[in-house]
Amino acid sequence: MSENLNYFRQNRLPHIWCPGCGHGTVTGALTRALAKLGIDKNNVVVVSGIGCSSRAPGYLDFDTLHTAHGRALAFATGIKLSKPSLKVIVLTGDGDCTAIGGNHFIHAARRNIDITTIVMNNSIYGMTSGQYSPMTPTGMLGTTAPYGNVERPFDFVKLAIASGATFVGRSTTYHVQLLGDLIEKALLHKGFSVVESIGGCPTYYGRKNKIGGAVEMFEWQKDNAVNIKAAAAMPKEKLDGKFLIGEFHNEEAPEFTSQYIELIEKVQRKFDDFKGGVRECAQNSD
C-alpha cells in the first residue's frame, strides 16, 4: 500500500465524484505531495467551502473543516492566526473561490497569509447541475447559458498575481506530475500560495459542450495546455486558444502571521516599559 493512502479516511472511499472527475486526481496529487514532504498529518488543517471540489476534505484524514459557500479562506485565516504553526490548506472550486468567495480570495492574497490554496477549476458549477461560473470560457454552454456564455472569464493566474499572492502556479489534471511539483512548492512556500488545477467535469461540462467523457476531457487538456517555458519561444499565433501552465510567480514578501506576531510582541514590550515608567513616577513623587 502506498504511503499516500495513509492520508485518506479509507472507510469513506470510494468517493462520491463522478467517474473520471478531475477532483480525485488533484486530491491524490495533494496527498502524494504531503507524503513526499513527510508532513505529519496532525499539523495539517484542510478547509473547504461548498461544491464538488469542497467534498475532498471529507475523504482526507486531517483536521478538516467544511464551511459556508466561498468562506473557506475566511475560516482558514482564523485558524492560521490562532495557531500559526499549523499548515493550512484550502481546497476550493472555481465558483467557490472566484464568485462567492471572490472578496475573501483577493484579501487573503493581499495580506499574504501563509495558506496554500488549491483551486480545482472545472469551469462549471458541477454540484448544482452545471450553471456557468466566472471561469467558464466565453461561448461555452451551461445549464444557465443554453446558447453560449457571453461573459468573459477570469484569468485566475493574473487575478492572483494582481491581488498579491506570492506563489502562483497552474497545471491540469493531465499534467499530474507538474501539478504535484507545484503543490509541493506551494506547501513549502512561506506566504499565500495558489495552485490552479484545470480539471474536467465530464458529467456537465463535457456532456453539455459535446467534448465527451473523462478521456476526451483529459485529451482536451493535453492538446490545449502549453508550458510557460515552451511558450516563451513560440510565435504568438500558435498560442491562440491555448492556455499556459507552469510556475507563473514566486516572490518573497512579508508574511501576515509573522508580521502580526511581531506587532504583538512590540506592543507588549511597550506596555511593559510603560508599567515600569509608572513605578518610577510613583517613586519620584514620594
Residues that bind another protein (CB under 8 A): 1-2, 5, 8, 13-15, 17-25, 28-29, 32, 173-174, 176-177, 180, 202, 213-215, 218-219
Q: Among residues 58 and 213, whose Cβ is nearest to another protein?
A: 213
> In angstroms, rounded to a whole number, what is the distance separating the alpha carbons of residues 171 and 177?
9
> In angstroms, rounded to a whole number, what is the distance separating the alpha carbons of residues 176 and 23?
12
| 231 Cβ contact partners less than 8 Å away, ≥ 6 residues apart | 239, 242, 244
For the CB of residue 220, give the shortest distance to another protein in the complex, in Å.
13
For the CB of residue 116, give the shortest distance to another protein in the complex, in Å.
20
Supply φ then ψ for residue 14, to 5 degrees. Answer: -70, 155
Q: Among residues 33 and 88, whose Cβ is nearest to another protein?
A: 33
For the CB of residue 32, give the shortest distance to another protein in the complex, in Å.
7
Unique residue bearing C-alpha cell 454540484? 127
Q: Among residues 117 and 203, whose Cβ is nearest to another protein?
A: 203
Q: Among residues 30 and 113, whose Cβ is nearest to another protein?
A: 30
> In angstroms, rounded to a whole number, what is the distance separating the alpha carbons of residues 51 and 61?
19
Give the DSSP per-residue string, 208-247: HTT--SHHHHHHHHHHHEEEHHHHTTS-GGGGTT-EEEEE
| 172 Cβ contact partners less than 8 Å away, ≥ 6 residues apart | 179, 197, 198, 199, 221, 222, 225, 245
For the CB of residue 174, give the shortest distance to another protein in the complex, in Å.
8
> In angstroms, rounded to a whole number, what is the distance separating the alpha carbons of residues 30 and 48?
14
Q: Among residues 25 and 136, whose Cβ is nearest to another protein?
A: 25
For the CB of residue 30, give the shortest distance to another protein in the complex, in Å.
12
For the CB of residue 98, give the shortest distance to another protein in the complex, in Å.
23
> In angstroms, rounded to a whole number, what is the distance separating the alpha carbons of residues 46 and 259?
23
| 58 Cβ contact partners less than 8 Å away, ≥ 6 residues apart | 9, 12, 64, 66
Q: Among residues 67 and 173, whose Cβ is nearest to another protein?
A: 173
For the CB of residue 96, give the shortest distance to another protein in the complex, in Å.
19
Q: Among residues 13 and 230, whose Cβ is nearest to another protein?
A: 13
